[in-house]
Amino acid sequence: MKKDIKKYKLLNIKLTPQRIAILDYLERNKTHPSVSEIFKYVNRRFPSMSFATVYNTLNTLVQHGRIRELTMDNDKKRFDPNTLPHHHLTCIKCKRIIDVDLDYPLSLPENKSSGFKVLGNHIEFYGICSECSSLNKQQKKKLSEII
Amino acid sequence: MKKDIKKYKLLNIKLTPQRIAILDYLERNKTHPSVSEIFKYVNRRFPSMSFATVYNTLNTLVQHGRIRELTMDNDKKRFDPNTLPHHHLTCIKCKRIIDVDLDYPLSLPENKSSGFKVLGNHIEFYGICSECSSLNKQQKKKLSEII
DNA sequence: TTATTAGATTATAATGATTATAAAATAAGA
DNA sequence: TCTTATTTTATAATCATTATAATCTAATAA
Ligand SMILES: [Mn+2]
Ligand SMILES: [Mn+2]
Ligand SMILES: [Zn+2]
Ligand SMILES: [Zn+2]
């Protein structure tokens, strides 16, 4: 209880069980989950929880700078509880997203920024994860199971 | 006519007026437009054109590696006719996306890539464009006009 | 040139993600 | 404990995107 308050109170938003559950899930999770993944999890503990609450909570947390909204997955929003500057590596097949905790000092000269105030950057490495690399074998298995 | 064929024929897809118009628009355009922006434009020349054709064409061109689908804008897909490796600078307010044509050699050591086959990277610089920076004044004007 | 046909376009329905609305519930402070 | 501003919930609405099926046409070859 105290923990929760200590951890979340600074946001100056009401501390509800649903919000605590959502933020707890995000913090114990390194997968950069989507809204439906978050909903699936917290809904197990709060069967009455609405999908709208997950959206509301996530939007509120983003607005308060408590979490970060990722863009790499064009199909749906993904969320990151770590708002410190860091980069990501995405699997182009399954859209798995992992952290890249390396420092890359990137400077963008003013004469190349067309009048923009440059605030930061984010590197998206992309590739194919090990599961998707070895999919040829698995594909056959799964296909044979399905068909 | 010959130009079109020379330009697009290599894709081994049927050369239709709609496809030519869509690709022409993309190539004369540095704004990384969305589907609806593309539709709005080509629909002026092909009033019978369907929204589905724009989606179909864009997906086909992406699949054939002729254009690139961008992810920075979480609200809608944006498209880039330049498939050569380059980076981008996005306005966090209006989502304007401009090119960053600088070479940044970024290496991701194997022991930091969790078994991924790393294929490339893309840097998203972000900031505030000049139009959005000066919005405070404009906002007042527009607000006073509206209210 | 004409006939054939695989592939493209169109109109439209369906889906999926996200946002909006309004009533009921509740956290937080007095 | 009381009050109230916020939040949650249920649900409808909206927006982007994909799927379907009928119609059309670019490309090929006779
Ligand atoms: Mn992360
Ligand atoms: Mn570009
Ligand atoms: Zn994968
Ligand atoms: Zn802007």
DSSP string, A92-110: TTT--EEEE---------G
Tokens of A67: 């979490």
Averaged pLDDT for residues B31-54: 96
In Å, what is the separation between the CA of A1 and the C1' of D3? 25
Tokens of B73: 């804008």
In Å, what is the separation between the CA of A93 and the C1' of D14? 30
Q: Which pLDDT value is given to residue A134?
A: 79
CB atoms within 10 A of CB B106: 17
Please, what's the b/e burial string for A60-88 (b: 16 or more CB within 10 A of its CB; e: otherwise)? ebeeeebbbebbbbeeebbbbbeeeeebb
B92 vs A contacts (CB less than 8 Å) = 119
Domains of chain A as residue ranges with CATH: 1-83 (1.10.10.10), 84-147 (3.30.1490.190)
SS3 A80: strand
Residue B139 pLDDT greater than 90, yes or no: no
Strand partners, A118: B127
Question: What confidence tier does A6 reach under pLDDT thresholds 50, 70, 90?
Answer: low
pLDDT digits (tens, 9 = 90+) for A32-43: 999 999 999 999
Give the whole-number percent of chain B exceeding pLDDT 90.
80
Q: Which pLDDT value is given to residue A12?
A: 83
pLDDT digits (tens, 9 = 90+) for B116-138: 999 999 999 999 999 998 755 55
Query: Is residue B92 within 8 Å of B126, Cβ to Cβ?
Result: yes
Length of chain A: 147
A113 and B120: CB-CB below 8 Å?
no
What is the rounded distance in angstroms from the CA atom of residue A72 to the CA atom of residue B123?
Answer: 12
Query: Is residue B124 within 8 Å of B90, Cβ to Cβ?
Result: yes
Query: Is residue B85 within 8 Å of B119, Cβ to Cβ?
Result: no
What string of DSSP letters covers B53-91?
HHHHHHHHHHHTTSSEEE-S-TTS-EEES--SS-EEEEE
Average pLDDT over chain A reads 89
At CB < 8 Å, which residues of chain B contact A?
69, 71-74, 77, 89, 91-92, 98, 100-102, 104, 106, 108-109, 112-130, 133
What is the rounded distance in angstroms from the CA atom of residue B125 to the CA atom of residue B26?
Answer: 22
A53's CB contacts (< 8 A; 6+ apart) are: A18
Please state the pTM of the whole predicted model.
Answer: 0.89
Tokens of B69: 């689908």
Q: Where are the alpha helices (DSSP H) in chain B?
A: 2-8, 17-27, 35-45, 51-63, 130-133, 135-146
Ligand (nearest to CA of B89): 2
Which of B69, B72, B126 comes nearest A120 by C-beta? B126
Q: Which pLDDT value is given to residue B3?
A: 52
Q: Which pLDDT value is given to residue B5?
A: 55
Give the whole-number percent of chain B exceeding pLDDT 70.
84
B128 and A108: CB-CB below 8 Å?
no
Which protein residues have any CB–strand C distance under 7 A? A 14-17, 34-36, 51-52, 55, 59, 75-77; B 13-14, 16, 18-19, 46, 48-53, 56-57, 60, 74
Which of B118, B123, B126 comes nearest A127 by C-beta? B118
B31's CB contacts (< 8 A; 6+ apart) are: B37, B96, B97
pLDDT digits (tens, 9 = 90+) for A73-119: 999 999 999 999 999 999 999 999 999 999 999 999 999 999 999 99
